[in-house]
Every structure is written in C-alpha cells, then in structure tokens.
Structure 1
Amino acid sequence: MRYQRGVTLTELLVALMLGLLLLGGVFGVYLSNQTTARTTEDLSNLQNRIRLAFQVMSYDLRSAGFLGCNNSERVVSVVQVAGVSPAWLNWQGGLVGTAADAANNESIRVMYGAGQSSSVVNHVPPRLNLNQRPELSVGDLAVVCDDTLTSIFQVSAVGNNWLEHAATGLNCAVDLGFANPFVCGSARPRLYPTDAMVMQFATVRWFVAASEVDANFNSLFREIIVSGAPVQEEVLFGVERLSFAYQMRNTPFGPVPFSAALDMTQVVGVNVQIILADAVYQQISMGEEMRTVEFFVAVRNR
C-alpha cells in the first residue's frame, strides 16, 4: 500500500487563517451594504415626509383667501367663542402671519373655502335650501357667499338638500349680518339669493412645537378646527426652524420678513424655509444645505 500524505498542522492553520480573512472581508462588505441600505432607506423616508409636508402646505397657501364668490374684501363671521371672535377667524384676506417666537420659529394661518360647493335654492333663516346634499356635518364651519358678501357660520343641522345656521353652538345669532366686524347684539339679517354658494370653511395653522413622538425634539404641525376646537397633526419630525417671507403685490420680486406693519391682504406669494434638526438626522450625514428645505408658493386668490 502506498503511503498517503495529509496536511500538516501549519498548513491547516494557514488555510483557516486565509478562510477567516476572506470571510471577514465578505462580512465587512455585507455590513457596509446593510449600513448603506439603511441610510438610503432613511433618506428616502425623510424625502417622502418632506414631499408630503411641501404638497400639503403648498395646497393650503395656494388656496388662501378662496371663497368661491370673489369677494374676500367683505367677510362677516357670526362665530364666537366665549362672546368674542376667535383668533382662528381673524380673516385678513385669508392669510395671517406671526412674528418669530423665542425659539425663532414663525407660524402662519391660512383660511379658505374648501370641498365641493352647493348652490342656494332659497334662504329662509336659519335654513339654506340647496340644489344637492352638502358635504358638511353638524359642527363644521361653513361659508355662504354671493357677489357682495360672504358669511362664516357653524352648521347647526344638515339634511337632504339643506342645512341650517341656527343661533346654537358657536353661532351668536341666526342672522348672517352685513357689518364687519359683526356685532351680535345689533345684527342685521342677510338673506342670500338663489345661486349663492355654500361650502366648507377651512382655517389651518402651520407651526413648530415639541414632537408627540419625542419631546426632546420639535416637529412641524398642521392644525385645523373641528367643531370649534383645534386639532393638531404632526407632519414632519425633527424640525429646527420654520420661517416665512412674503411677496407683496406690485413690488419687485423679493419676499420680505413678517412685521406688524405688513398688510397681509396684499401678500401674493409666500417663501417657506424649513431647517431640519442636525441631531435628529446625524445617521444620514446631511450637510446644512441638505437640511434646508425652501420653496415659494404663489397665492392664487389675490
């Protein structure tokens, strides 16, 4: 029988070492690919959230001041909370800016007629008879308008092809009035004619506050009014700064910062700047230019 020679211990150890080196390299590449994939996924998710915030905020800003009847100069509200008109109904043409707070964040409120409109068949206060069932529920804010006036009220009852604006809930009077500001004690009735328009009234605020997910960081919020109470939705987590600049009518392009003297009824465009918090997105390794989201929105109804 011929002698069959095997491998020596040294050869075995060398082979094992080479195998471990090869396996370590493969494992390192795998971990690197996993990290890259996670970073790419995190960046993609962030971009999607930013895109959503941009789309929703842009829609609100473009819609500012829309009432359906082209008469945003004459707006009366019969809605009151604790006997006074609430801040979320401070019309100013449908766009209200604010000065920066202690953290250097600004906010903005946008108001407009939203959803499907219905036409008035006849108006016998408090009932508005309509050409179709309105897309409104009891407690919703609504507007009714014609070529001369717009009235904001809370829906007190809804039926098939009608709704009412009775002096209940937030409505201080059944009258829809003429004067602005509206004085409930001396209200003057307003009968809206055939073909006046009725739709939902949206009042939306964009602002930055402590996140509901992690109070150590701030988020971008969108606030709406539901049955007379503010309801907040967290739109974008990890926002360090929110600011606005305003393009004025009949001036060269160059949005200006908010000031108390700014006439918001003359704003025709809004420049939005959102700066993301570096501490939140360190794993994505974004430079300051990548953390800054800036866009300009023209206000269509001015």
Structure 2
Amino acid sequence: MRLQRGVTLTELLIALMLGLLLLGGVLGVYLSNQTTARTTEDLSNLQNRIRLAFQVMSYDLRSAGFLGCNNSERVVSVVQIAGANPVWLNWQGGLMGTAADAANNESIRLMYAAGRSSSVVTHVPPRLNLNQQSELSVGDLGVVCDDTLTSIFQVSAVGNNWLEHAAVGLNCSADLGFNNPFLCNVPRTRLYPVDAMMMRFETVRWFVAASEVDANLNSLFREIIVAGVPVREEVLFGVERLSFAYQMRNAPFGPVPFSAALDMTQVIGVNVVILLADGAYQQINVGEGMRTVEFFVAVRNR
C-alpha cells in the first residue's frame, strides 16, 4: 500500500501568509480605486455646482437693466412699502452693488424685465388689455413700457388677455405716470399706447449667508421677490467670500472695487470672485487655486 503525504503545518502557514499578502494587495488597490472614484465624483459634483452658479449669476448680470423697450432712463415704480420704494426696488439702472459686510462679503442687486412679452391692445386704467394671455399672476411684479417711459407695478388682478394695476396691495396708486420727484398722491395719469410691451419684472440679489444645510459654514444664495416677499434659494454650499469689481464706461479695462461714490448707472461689466471654504471640501483636497472661482460678465443693456 502506497503511503500518502499531507501538507505540513509550516507549508500551510506559508501558503496562508502568501494568500493574505496577495489578498491585502488586491484589497488595497480596490480601496484606493474606490477612494479615487469617490473623490473624482465629489470633484465633478462640485464643478457642476460651480458651473450652475456661474451660469445663473451670469444670466442675471447680463440681463441687468433690460426693460423691454428702449431701456429709457425714465422709470417709475408705484410699488411702495411704508410710503417708499422697498430696498429691493432701488432701481439705479438695474444694478446695485454694496460695500463688504463684517465678514468681508459683498452682495449685488440686479433688476430686469424677463419672460414672455405681451403687447398692449388698449389701456384703460387700471386695466391693460393684451394681445395674449399674460404669464403673470396676482401679486407678481409687472413692467410696461414704450419708447418714452417704463412703469413698474404689482399685478392686482388677471383675466383672459388682461391684467390690472389697481391701487391695492403694494401699489400706492393706479397712475403709472412719471414725475420727479415722485409723489404717489399727485395725479400722473399715463395711458400706454397700442403695442406698448408688457413683461414680468425680476429683482434678484446674490449674497452669502449661513448655509441651511450646515450653519457652521456659509453658502451662496440667490434671492428673488415672490408676491412682494423676498424668497431665497441656496445655490452653492461652502462659500467663504464673495466680492465684485465694476468696469466703468469710457474707462480703461480694469474693474474697480465698490465705493459709495461709484455711479452704478455707468457700470458695463462685473468681475465676480467666489472663494470656496476650505473646511467644506476637505474630503476632495481642493487646493488654494481651485478654491477661487473668478469670471467677468459684460452688462448687455448699458
């Protein structure tokens, strides 16, 4: 009978050790690939969020000052709170910068006509009869203009191919006419002619505030006005600083910082700098250069 030999304990231990070393190497490569994949995905998501913020803010900046007709400087607003224009309707040509706050963050307000336009058929105050159904709802801000005047108001009623601007809600008057200085109780009857343009009025603010996800970090917000009430949306998480510089008309290229003496009606371009918070993106090791997002946008309607 032939004897059969088994594996010795030493051979078994050596085999197990070699197997563990091989398995450890494979597992290490797998975990490294997983970490790299997660980092790449996180970085891609961050870049997409930055791209979205850039696209939306660039649209607002390019649109600033657009009123639908000839962008006339004669603009009147009958929208008032406590007898005066609300802070979110300080026109100044549709672009208003601010000084840096205590955290060295700036904000910017941009105003413009947007959405689908309608033409005026007849204007019998407070009703504007239109050539089609307006996309505006009661409480929305509207803007109507012709070659000589633009009027901003809150929509008080809507119907089939018409809307109204009665002296209710935020409207201090149903008179859409112009006077300087503006006195709401002085009659300023203004009838808009056939083919005057009717659109939605947007007033948008970009600023940095505490994140709604993590109060320990700040985020970039976009604020709009809905039925006369500011409503904000968190656009980009983890922003440490937001600053703007302004390119002035008839000046050599070189955007300048905001100052109280700056004439915002002469701004033809805005340089934006966003600094991402280092603590918000530690898992993807965002370098100093990658944390700074900078772009320049020309204001088209100046």
Where on the TM-score scale, by shorter chain, does this alignment land: which range? over 0.9
Structure 1 runs (4+) deviating above 2 angstroms are: none
Q: How does 1:1-302 map to 2 (within 5 A)?
A: 1-302=1-302
Asked if 2 retains the 8 angstrom alpha-carbon contact of 1:62 and 1:298, the reply is: yes
- Alignment-mate amino acid for residue 126 of structure 1: P
Return 182-191 or 40-49, whichever deviates more: 182-191
Aligned partners of 2:183, 2:117: CA distance in 1, in Å? 28
User: 1:264, 1:181 → 2: CA distance?
Assistant: 20
Equivalent-residue separation in structure 1 for 2:115 and 2:181 (angstroms):
26
Shift, 1:82, TM fit? 1.9
Deviation of 1:181 after TM superposition, in Å, equals: 4.3
Between the two proteins, the alignment pairs up a number of residues equal to 302
TM-score (normalised: structure 1): 0.99
- Runs of 5+ unmatched residues, structure 1: none
Contact kept? 1:121, 1:131, Cα under 8 Å: yes
What TM-score do the two structures reach when normalised by structure 2? 0.99
Q: CA deviation at 1:182?
A: 2.4
- In structure 2, the gaps of 5 or more residues are none
* 2:176 match: secondary structure: coil
Residues 73-122 of structure 1 deviation map (CA, whole Å, 9 limit, x = unaligned): 11000000122110111001000000000000000000000000000001
What is the letter of the counterpart of residue 266 of structure 2? Q
- Residue by residue over 1:161-192, the C-alpha shift from the partner in whole angstroms, topping out at 9 and shown as x without a partner, is 11000000000001012114421111311110
| 2:243–2:273 Cα contact (<8 Å) kept | yes
Q: Secondary structure of the residue that 2:279 maps to in structure 1?
A: coil
Q: 2-side partners of 1:76 and 1:56: how far apart?
A: 27
Asked if 2 retains the 8 angstrom alpha-carbon contact of 1:218 and 1:240, the reply is yes
What is the distance in 1 between the residues matched to 2:81 and 2:208? 25
- CA distance in 2 between counterparts of 1:161 and 1:59 reads 29
Distance 1:181 1:218 in 2: 40
Task: Provide the rounded CA distance (Å) in 1 between the counterparts of 2:78 and 2:110.
Answer: 19
Q: Distance in 1 between matches of 2:300 and 2:181?
A: 26
CA distance in 1, matches of 2:141, 2:180: 18
Report the RMSD for the aligned CA atoms in angstroms. 0.7
* SS of residue in 2 equivalent to 1:123: strand
